[in-house]
Structure formats: structure tokens, C-alpha cells
Amino acid sequence: MTDRHRLTSVDTVEEDGAWLFTVRDAHDINQEVMLVPCEDSSQKVNAYINTCTHEQQPLYRDEVGVVMRDGGVVCPKHGSVFDSCSGECDNGPATGTTLSEIAIDVDDGQVYLTDDSVDFLWGGGDTDDDDDGSPSSTSHLRF
């Protein structure tokens, strides 16, 4: 679906701790993707769908970005930690699961989206135009 698309620089991901962008998948669904630093990789960054495997919670949140601990991405809801280099989780409710990876390439310090299963839409998160700022609810009532 996509050609190689420049996203940002490795330096930006390392300095900011993460970088968020939005793609559209083959089912016409928008997905947020986060770039996170990975010291053990030759690319120095990896890209994962911005969703905890346990309860579909976003790992990157606008208010704080990504919480990192000992080379891992921490789920802000339950505390599971995903290795930033492999996406694997070995603790908490998400134990035994792996984050969904999106293919990227790093060339001369620049990060490129190379995953053929998605199309780049924009830098930043997916916004809901119907969001009026009120808390979400599972009922028909809005507060």
C-alpha cells in the first residue's frame, strides 16, 4: 500500500522518548503507530501499533507520551512492560503477548515507513471529529 515515506529522525525519537503517527490499514481502519527507542537494534528505533495487547489501551498518550522503564514500554493501565526491541511482554496481565510491529527502515539517521500493509496518513494521533471533550461512556448517556 505504501512507498517508503520519511517519518522523522532517530534523534527526535531518542530525544522525545517516542514519536506517534497515524496510518490506514488494508481494512480502511486508522491505526496509531508509535516509534520507540531501542538501543539493542541496529536501527535504534522500532514501530508498534499503539495498543496494549491486554485490553486495547493506548500505550502512547498525548499527555505524557510513552512511559519507558528499563528499555520497555509500560502500559499505563495495568503496568505490563513490553520490550521496546522485540515487543514481547513477560510480566503483568499481558504476559506472553507481543505488540504488533510495523515495518520501518532507518537510513542515514532518518526513519522511513516501509510497511506495505499500511498507508501513512499524518504525524500525530488519530483524532475523533465527533469528540466533544466529554468522557466516553458505554451507555447512551454523555456527561
Domains of the chain in start order, with CATH, are 5-66+100-123 (2.102.10.10)
Closest of 86, 83, 88 to residue 72, by C-alpha = 83
- The Cα–Cα gap between 110 and 66 comes to 20
- The Cα–Cα gap between 23 and 123 comes to 9
Residue 102: phi and psi, rounded to 5, are -115, 135
pLDDT in tens, 1-42: 557 999 999 999 999 999 999 999 999 999 999 999 998 888
- The Cα–Cα gap between 63 and 139 comes to 26
- pTM for this model (two decimals): 0.86
pLDDT in tens, 62-102: 889 999 999 999 999 999 999 999 999 999 999 999 999 99
